[in-house]
Amino acid sequence: MSGTKFDFYARKQSAHAHDHDHGHSPGSDHAGDAHTAIEVPREGPPSEFEIMSRAMQEILEAKGVITADQVRSRMEQFEEDLPYRGSRVVARAWLDPEFKQRLLEDGKAACAEMGIDLEADRLIAVENTPAVHNLIVCTLCSCYPRSLLGMPPSWYKSRNYRSRVVFEPRAVLREFGTVLPDRVTVRVHDSNADMRYLVIPLRPAGTEGWDEERLAEILTRDTLVGVTTPSGRR
Amino acid sequence: MSDQPMNKGPHDVGGESAAAVDTIDHGMSFWEKQANGLRSVLSGQRIVRIDELRRAAEDLGNQYSMLAYFERTTSALRTVLLEKGLITESELRAKMDEIRKRFNVPDEMESPLKNASQK
């Protein structure tokens, strides 16, 4: 799956053009059709919360507080853009020691160099070494570097992960198939709304000479949260 | 809340014992993506603040653990929009009725939230 990331990224522009064709199809020009334009097949009737969420959106649109297009383009961004940024940032850090230094010193400023605007006040990049492995959690809720990794996976938001990872990180890591030698220190970082973390994994052997794009492919979401470690492939 | 220390909210679970982590990412349904888009646009424009939404979710008390993630965030958004006067109870009720009719959803569908609002 990670192998398709950049193809998908490259196809983005043509996909967008396609979407816009749909947006201008007959019948969707007046405001009343704005909601039906993004309808998808569903299983069963909408839940109370789905109805509530939709109702809030429609009321705010009618009052001119937001537009349906704003919500739609934000959804697209969460699907197509945000999840692939973190791996580009860390791949660059692997290739460019000076960039890595800047990323470690001020994550927000380093991302801004790459044209990435982080919503949180601070991004703290934590670098794995042969002696230290870093792992990210938000025990209180779901704070996560969304501008770099997209939406958090369901396990990140789960009570079991949030509860346990702070006191038995090695046991949790084993559940992800990650077994670290006892001599490696595990550091768990608890995020909050103003301060997000990003793991810079240890660059594996066998990746010598790889370019940024190829390196980014092995820098999966899970490696940047720290629940797994990347491996060089043949 | 009964077995929680006084100052510990329902969200404050770090350090508690719990079962094994389900390491599969179950993704998000379409409505969840849309609800997330709505929340993100509103917070991005500083119409609502992340801290306000978090406080409203943490105030859910016993309901907190009964609701799924996006049910909590939707409930929290409702609280904050009502507090700020950006929507009213009656507007929301009327719009929800309209949407139920649009989707042929019978009104007898119950939810923890509906029950709570009748208290």
Q: Within 13 A of B63's CA, how many CA atoms are on the CB side?
A: 18
pLDDT in tens, A27-72: 333 333 333 334 455 567 889 999 999 999 999 999 999 999 999 9
CATH code assigned at B103: 1.10.472
Structure tokens at A215: 């390196």
Q: What is the rounded average pLDDT for all residues in chain A?
A: 84
Res A137: pLDDT: 96
Considering CB atoms only, which of A54, A66, A164 is closest to B41? A66
Q: How many domains does chain A have?
A: 1
Q: Is the pTM of this model over 0.90?
A: no
What's the average model confidence in pLDDT over A116-125?
87
Res B115: pLDDT: 45
Q: Based on the residue annotation, tell me whether A25 is a catalytic residue of this protein.
A: no
Q: How many domains does chain B have?
A: 1
What is the rounded distance in angstroms from the CA atom of residue A53 to the CA atom of residue B99?
A: 11
Res A219: pLDDT: 97
pLDDT in tens, B29-67: 999 999 999 999 999 999 999 889 999 998 998 888 899
Q: What is the rounded average pLDDT for all residues in chain B?
A: 85
In a domain, A230, yes or no: no
CATH code assigned at A147: 3.90.330.10
**Residue A173 belongs to domain spanning:** 82-225
Q: Based on the residue annotation, tell me whether A138 is a catalytic residue of this protein.
A: yes
What is the rounded distance in angstroms from the CA atom of residue A165 to the CA atom of residue A161?
A: 6
Q: Are B78 and A56 in contact (CB under 8 A)?
A: yes
Considering CB atoms only, which of B13, B41, B75 is closest to A163? B13
CB contacts, 8 Å: B57 with chain A: 141
Is the CB of B84 inside 8 Å of chain A's CB atoms?
no
pLDDT at B5 over 80: no
What's the average model confidence in pLDDT over A68-92?
96
Enter the ipTM. 0.83
Closest CA to A138 of A118, A161, A105: A161
**What pLDDT band is residue B17 in, cutting at 50, 70 and 90?**
confident
In a domain, B94, yes or no: yes
Tell me how close the Cα of B84 comes to any Cα of chain A, in angstroms: 13
Res B109: pLDDT: 52
Mark out the alpha helices in A63-210 (DSSP H runs).
68-80, 85-95, 97-105, 107-113, 146-149, 154-157, 159-164, 169-175
Tell me how close the Cα of A204 comes to any Cα of chain B, in angstroms: 23
Catalytic residue (choose from A141, A158, A163, A231): A141
**Residue B92 belongs to domain spanning:** 30-117
> pLDDT > 90: what percent of chain A?
73
What's the average model confidence in pLDDT over A92-113?
97
Tell me how close the Cα of B27 comes to any Cα of chain A, in angstroms: 6
